[in-house]
Amino acid sequence: MAGEKKIETTGLMGWIDARFPLSSTYKAHVSEYYAPKNFNFWYIFGSLALLVLVIQIVTGIFLVMHYKPDAERAFQSVEYIMREVPGGWLIRYMHSTGASMFFVVVYLHMLRGLFYGSYRKPRELVWIFGVAIFLCLMAEAFFGYLLPWGQMSYWGAQVIVNLFSAIPFIGPDLAIWIRGDYVVSDATLNRFFAFHVIAIPLVLIGLVVAHLVALHEVGSNNPDGVEIKKYKDSRGVPLDGVPFHPYYTVHDVFGVSMFLIVFAAIVFFAPEMGGYFLEYNNFIPADPLKTPPHIAPVWYFTPFYSMLRAITDEFTWVLAGLAVLGALALAWRLRGMARLIAPIVLVVIAVLLRAIDAKFWGVAAMGGAVVILFFLPWLDHSPVRSIRYRPGWHKVLYAIFIVNFLVLGFLGTQAPNPTYNLMSQIGTIIYLGFFLVMPFWSKLGTFKPVPDRVTYHAH
């Protein structure tokens, strides 16, 4: 910028800055990155996610030093790590606990974005990168879940990979290509190991960098959902902003301290967490000839697993009926050619729901439950960002959505029965309906006036 005074550094730092933008990068992204001064508790989960990513990478490196990606030796190598490698049990439990804690902090991080409208303009790309990170995490966890080669690892992989065979035309061949064999075998283990250790982490790190760069380009959102760049002082510093360092680095250090206390308590006292973090069946070597009585994924996949199981042949009649009702609603709301085309599309979907096997629609519902998150910036038509200034009944909808997601998670851990199946079907409709009907309900109601500047009370 014209007239901007460039600070010269000397010594080693000056030598580095002449060849690499270290100081300028530090200033742009830390010491002179101005964040809203009204951040609250919800804004620690992004930093915690970065911390857990580092924990997973470091512990993963040490585990790979002793792990054998071989169907005959994988389970024994994990036992060797646990019993013979000095500190191996600690590294393994840190990695397994870290996997679950990663999803805890990421779910809370995404929930905060949902509450405060952090996906709204101009932060659409920040949100899209974030959802892509979530997808990568799911893939990373799925590929890594097979590596201990326990009973639940083996049969969980067998069930999930078999789901791909439900895709019309290409499904059976795709499932064989993913496994590398007709059943989960040594070839599958080697493929999953390569993806878990090399391919997915590289993509994940790239997406995290893109997420942070996009965030710092447009600036952080805040609980009020107002732009702090609107009001600046004579130096161009936002009046409602404070430097990320030292204000929020201290804020995050406190959050990290609290998190590490919880993390250490789990690692040292309850690493299995009652079978939710480490299933008891996974302490039994994989046996292709003996199927566990109840196969279920790890807890962080169970909400989506519930949606998969909810789609039965009978339930497709309900979905087809809802599609027809949706067609009628669109015909009433839209104008012009869209009024004719949109209902036709939905009626075609209703017909396909009955024509194609329910197993495929279960897979589609499970995948669509995640993919629909990419479109959230364009589904929300609310005139305000933050939940603080939305009508009270909007908050009730958010509460129902959260409770429903938790109930779906619980149902996914349980053996199926008619009552649980019905609850899963209702929960699936609530989850998908929350997003699909959002363009209509998000703009209804009386909204509170949004302040020009952030509301902040010193504490």
Q: pLDDT tens digits for 169-179?
A: 888 899 999 99
Beta-carbon contacts of residue 201 (< 8 Å; ≥ 6 apart): 57, 60, 140
For the chain, the average pLDDT equals 89
pLDDT tens digit string along 54-99? Answer: 999 999 999 999 999 999 999 999 999 999 999 999 999 999 999 9
Say yes or no to pLDDT of 5 above 60: no
Long-range residue pairs from 5-9, CB within 8 A, at least 24 positions apart, any chain: none
- The helix (run of H) or strand (run of E) holding residue 243 is strand 241-243
Cβ 113 vs Cβ 50: under 8 Å = no
The pLDDT score that the predictor gives to residue 292 is 86
**Alpha carbon distance 352, 368 (integer Å):** 16
d(CA 443, CA 447): 9
**Does the pLDDT of residue 400 top 70, yes or no?**
yes
Query: How many C-beta neighbours within 10 Å does residue 438 have?
Result: 19
Q: Are 66 and 81 in contact (CB under 8 A)?
A: yes
Q: Which pLDDT value is given to residue 187?
A: 93
What is the average per-residue pLDDT within 316-320? 73
Structure confidence at residue 213 (pLDDT): 93
Angle of CA points 129, 166, 140, to nearest 5°: 35
Q: Are 289 and 407 a contacting pair, CB within 8 Å? A: no
Q: Is the pLDDT of residue 7 over 80?
A: no
Around Cβ 254, how many Cβ atoms within 10 Å? 10
| Poorest-pLDDT segment among 19-33, 389-403, 422-436 | 19-33
Higher-pLDDT residue of 208, 229 = 208
pTM as predicted: 0.92
Find out whether 102 and 46 touch, Cβ atoms under 8 Å. Answer: no
Q: What is the pLDDT of residue 378?
A: 92
Alpha helices in 2-87 (DSSP H): 11-17, 22-26, 45-64, 74-83
Write the CB contacts of 280 (distance below 8 Å, at least 6 apart in sequence).
Answer: 272
Residue 381 to residues 152, 214, 378, 439, Cα–Cα distance (Å):
43, 23, 7, 6
DSSP 106-136: HHHHHHHHHHHTTTSTT-HHHHHHHHHHHHH
* 381 C-beta neighbours (distance < 10 Å), count: 12
What is the phi/psi pair of residue 150, to 5°? -90, 180
- What is the number of other CB atoms lying within 10 angstroms of the CB of residue 288? 12
d(CA 29, CA 229): 16
Q: Would you mind telling me the total number of residues written for the chain in this entry?
A: 459
pLDDT score recorded for residue 434: 94
- The residues, ordered by sequence, that sit 6+ positions from 71 with a Cβ below 8 Å of its Cβ are 149, 185, 186, 189, 286
DSSP string, 215-239: HHHH----TT---GGGSB-TTS-BT
| Of residues 395, 391, 403, the one with CA closest to residue 449 | 391
DSSP state of 286: -
CA distances from 154 to 71, 78, 194, 204, 288 (A): 10, 15, 17, 25, 8
Which class is 40-283 in CATH? mainly alpha
* pLDDT above 90 coverage of the chain, percent: 60
| DSSP per-residue letters across 136-190 | HHHHHHHHHHTTT-BHHHHHHHHHHHHHGGGSTTTHHHHHHHHHTSSSS-HHHHH
| Residue-level pLDDT at 191 | 94
Give CATH for domain 299-441: 1.20.810.10
Tens digits of residue pLDDT in 286-312: 998 888 888 888 999 999 999 998 888
299-441 has the same fold as 40-283: yes
Which positions make up the binding site?
A: 95, 109, 196, 211, 216
Q: Note the pLDDT of residue 2.
A: 45
* pLDDT tens-digit readout, 332-389: 665 666 566 666 766 776 676 666 777 888 888 899 899 999 999 999 999 999 999 9
Q: For residue range 404-438, list pLDDT tens digits in order.
A: 999 999 999 998 889 999 999 999 999 999 998 89
Cα–Cα distance list, 341 to 55, 152, 155, 322, 350 (Å): 51, 47, 44, 17, 14
- The token pair that represents 54 in the structure block: 């580092």
The annotation places the binding site for a ubiquinone at 216
Is residue 268 scored above 80 in pLDDT?
yes
Confidence (pLDDT) at 317: 73
Q: Identify the three-state secondary structure at position 16.
A: helix
Give me the pLDDT at residue 340, please.
Answer: 64
- Which SS3 state, helix, strand or coil, does residue 458 take? coil
Q: What is the pLDDT of residue 3?
A: 45
Name the binding residues for heme b: 95, 109, 196, 211
Q: What are the extents of the domains in the chain? A: 40-283, 299-441
> In this structure, what token pair is assigned to residue 277?
């973090």
Position of tokens 């030598």?
Answer: 15
